[in-house]
Amino acid sequence: MEPIKRNPTDHRVWEDLFGIAIGVTLCGLGLLIFRDLGLTVGGTAGLALLVHYGTGLSLGLSYSLINLPFYAFAWVKMGWAFTLRTLITVTLLSVGVEWAASMIQFSRLDPLLGTWVAGVLVGMGLLSVFRHGSSFGGSGILAAFLQDHFGIKAGYVQLAFDSVVLLVAFLMLEPSALAYSVVSALILNGLVAVNHNRARYVGVT
């Protein structure tokens, strides 16, 4: 009997772990910049920022609580492996962003440059975890599901969620902060829409 051959597009376990760690690092740094600028970004991360601003709960705890209802959907629609990877990713980000906040301080942040850098960081973080069979939970779970099963680009799904979050942000943020937040959402989702194309890259098992 011939041994089962590994699909050449599959990632090895250590590659998935490394890719997820990179994604968590990039996204965590981006969220810290958004928080220090008083901005939001849409999606689950943006909602967590708004909860943080409105209630005083830590950003990491807010992010973890928001993600709880989405795990059941992930388990049913995406399978246990994806759900487990997502749980690990969300936990690492929730804990890591609080740890990093105690270690990193920005003495000066230009809002426009910060918006660009943070949007790129979070977008690249999303790409990294998507390509290693995981997500940052919440809207990312649905985005990955629609991308993989219906061919709807993940960036466009994220943009729809971002629009809802930004409508809520309209009631909470100053006009200038809201404007920068809209720009950040466009940067992030444009980056994901252009780069996360299943026809070009197949890495999610």
Q: Give the tens place of pLDDT for each residue, 44-93.
A: 888 999 999 999 999 999 999 999 888 888 888 878 888 888 898 999 99
Q: Is residue 138 part of a domain?
A: yes
**pTM score:** 0.80
For the cut 60, the answer to whether the pLDDT of residue 198 exceeds it is: no
- With vertex at residue 52, the alpha carbon angle to CA 46 and CA 55, rounded to the nearest 5 degrees, is 135
Across the chain, mean pLDDT equals 83
Q: Is residue 204 part of a domain?
A: no
% the chain with pLDDT above 90? 40
C-alpha count within 13 angstroms, C-beta hemisphere, residue 141: 27
Tokens coding 109? 């942040």
Q: Is residue 166 part of a domain?
A: yes
Q: Is residue 9 part of a domain?
A: no
Q: Is residue 6 part of a domain?
A: no
For the cut 80, the answer to whether the pLDDT of residue 14 exceeds it is: no
The structural domain count of the chain equals: 1
CA dist 173 and 176 (Å) reads: 8
CA dist 44 and 49 (Å) reads: 9
CA dist 204 and 82 (Å) reads: 9
Q: Is residue 205 part of a domain?
A: no
Confidence of residue 34 (pLDDT cuts 50, 70, 90): very high
Q: Of the given ranges (4-18, 67-81, 101-115, 176-190), which has the lowest mean pLDDT?
A: 4-18
Domain that holds residue 88: 31-195
Task: Between 100 and 9, name the one with better pLDDT.
Answer: 100
Number of neighbours of residue 149 by Cβ within 10 angstroms: 10
C-alpha count within 13 angstroms, C-beta hemisphere, residue 15: 11
CA dist 59 and 136 (Å) reads: 14
Instruction: Give the C-alpha distances (Å, rounded to integers) separating 201 from 9, 162, 166.
Output: 9, 25, 30
Which of 133, 102, 104, 107 lies closest to 121 in space, CA to CA?
104
